[in-house]
Amino acid sequence: MSAALSSSLQRHWPLTTLAALCSLTLLLGMLAPLRGGSHELLLAFPSTTGGQLTLPSEIRLTRGVRDVLLLRNDGRAPVVFGPLKIGPGRELRLPFGEAGLYTYACPPVAGKVVRVRVVDAPGPGWGRLRWRLDDLRQWVRYLPLRSPEEQEAVPSGRNRTPAMAPILSS
């Protein structure tokens, strides 16, 4: 039996290597600790001319990984976010220490409500892998759609923002 398995693996070495790499990737995704450079998720309010901003129905933050909502007003008028009023050209950090669902009134946003869901960091295993896949899905879903000319026009300091920044830039 061992000889048959050995010859089968030698014959199908590309598939065996691919299966081993996929298994290793899954194992790494399940067991590697969650780390991040910044605990902030940027929510930028650009200057708009009467249109309403589009946001996802829910913004997800994770305690201990990304648990601070950075609100930046790039417009010329103040923006109201829940009980907070953010002046033009200002930014405000809103930290979340408890898991839960938070609802904020925000008039410039379509629907006039922004929900922030704060979840606990998942432990090792399938929950962590699911968290990583959801994070990847959210990142891909809100990639900025910019032409190369627009990319060159963006100041270099504003280009290195976390995942939510491109949502409001259209």
pLDDT digits (tens, 9 = 90+) for 106-152: 887 777 888 999 988 888 888 888 888 888 887 787 676 666 776 66
Query: What is the pairing mode between strands 40-45 and 68-73?
Result: parallel
Residue 51: the pLDDT is: 61
Mean pLDDT across the chain: 78
Residue 153, token pair as written in the block = 């026009």
What would the pLDDT profile of 40-66 be if each residue is shown by its tens digit? 888 888 766 566 676 676 888 888 888
Residue 18, token pair as written in the block = 């691919």
Residue 100: the pLDDT is: 93
**Alpha-carbon distances of 138 from 8, 146, 160, rounded to whole Å:** 40, 18, 17
Q: Is residue 156 scored above 60 in pLDDT? A: no
Q: Is residue 165 scored above 50 in pLDDT? A: no
Greater confidence (124 vs 157) lies with: 124
Residue 49: the pLDDT is: 54
Residue 1: the pLDDT is: 56
pTM: 0.64
Query: What is the pairing mode between strands 79-81 and 58-62?
Result: unpaired
Nearest-angstrom CA–CA distance, 42 and 157: 13
Query: What is the pairing mode between strands 84-86 and 79-81?
Result: antiparallel
